[in-house]
Structure 1
Amino acid sequence: MNIFLMVLGHENPNCYEPSQIAQFVMLMLDSDLVFRDQNGQFVVLMHHIAERLQTYRQLTYSSPESAGVLIGERRGAHIIISDLSVPGDGDIRSRCRVDRRGAHHQTKVISSFHQSEGTAQYIGEWHTHPEDHPTPSAIDKLSWSKNLDTGSTMVLIIVGRQSIWLAKKEKQAIEQCLTES
């Protein structure tokens, strides 16, 4: 339960009564998407970010793929996604392909980093697929393997028409996380 308290800015759960902790947990589950990996570590997708991602779902045949970067904080082993970049000038988009080339994505990361005094950072990538329940394509896996070679755990999101696929990438291993909410 400590992750929920840390998300709300409270790092010492011992100073709260069990009923207060339960209220914090319910607030998180009611408003944010919470995913958990096999080790019990959380990825929290803030409510406003989940809503923003939903606006890019490919609901019609003419809807192009969309992509951007994820911005957030690392709280110990847990990750909070609190901001993102969205498609814009320079990006190449079609029905089944997206190439995130716009300089605005990097500008967003730098701006968020400075505005947060260094707590917000590049956390990973998101894009859409024109399918109800998305899964990574061979192109996705190759791209992540080639371009996301960092020493930090990265978050990968694919937004489908009915669900969101979320995974964590550590070194070359990609592990899907399951939703708690």
Structure 2
Amino acid sequence: MILKIEKIGLSLEVEDELLNKLLEIGKTHYPKEFGGFLIGYYSENNMHLHITDTILPKKYQASKYNFERSTKGIENELVEFYAENLRKIYIGEWHTHPDNSPIPSATDISAINTIINSKKTSIANPVLLIIGCSNTTVDFGFYVWFENKLYKYE
């Protein structure tokens, strides 16, 4: 799947296999939210992002309307992805919205700001994937923080 934000010229690519994997992982935690870290790499001009993998948190707290993950215990997995391909880096987050739409909440926006302002991350434009899912529907919402604004990939 390739998505674009025409207004700012960014594009994003993710394989259906990875999206299905994230959905299945999310469903195992239904009706609570669940999520993880997104791994990928940018094109040479930084205008195209390819999301390739996920890392699941080792420690987290979840409810029907909230998901908070810890970074503890994932360092080795990040190093492994980087060793596999020097361009592969942490590029953002994903989580589910059980029985809800994939629209960022105020908490989601706050989490993006925390990522941007963290001295531990060096990503200027974090990506957010929200999977709105129920027993009968699934909707993927991809967003990117770009120049102090959240944009949706279409």
TM over 0.5: yes
Task: Find 1:115's aligned residue among 74, 84, 87.
Answer: 84
Q: Quickly say closer, same or farther: Cα 1:148–1:67, change in 2 above 3 A.
A: farther
Normalising by structure 2, we get a TM-score of 0.81
Structure 1 stretches lacking a partner, 5+ long? 1-32
Q: By percentage of residues, which structure has more strand?
A: 2
Aligned: 1:131 with 2:104: no
CA drift at 1:132? 4.4
> Which structure's CA Rg is the greater one?
1
CA drift at 1:166? 0.5
Equivalences for residues 125-164 of structure 1 within 5 A: 125-149=93-117, 150=122, 152-161=124-133, 162-164=138-140
Distance 1:99 1:127 in 2: 10
The one-letter code matched in structure 1 to 2:55 is S
Name the structure 2 match of 1:103.
72
Task: Find 1:172's aligned residue among 122, 140, 148.
Answer: 148
The one-letter code matched in structure 1 to 2:145 is K
Task: Find 1:64's aligned residue among 27, 32, 38.
Answer: 32
- Between 147-156 and 168-177, report the one with greater CA deviation: 147-156
Q: Quickly say closer, same or farther: Cα 1:147–1:40, change in 2 above 3 A.
A: closer
CA drift at 1:102? 4.7
Structure 2 stretches lacking a partner, 5+ long? none
- Between 65-74 and 132-141, report the one with greater CA deviation: 132-141
Give me the CA root mean square deviation. 2.1
CA drift at 1:73? 0.8
Does structure 2 retain, via aligned residues, the 8 Å contact 1:85–1:108? yes
Name the structure 1 match of 2:8.
39
Does structure 2 retain, via aligned residues, the 8 Å contact 1:145–1:172? no
- Between 48-57 and 148-157, report the one with greater CA deviation: 148-157
Q: Quickly say closer, same or farther: Cα 1:121–1:113, change in 2 above 3 A.
A: same
- Alignment length, in residue pairs? 143
Distance 2:9 2:79 in 1: 30
The one-letter code matched in structure 1 to 2:124 is S
1:126-145 alpha-carbon deviations (Å, 9 max, x no partner): 11111343211111111211
Distance 2:150 2:28 in 1: 27
Name the structure 2 match of 1:53.
22
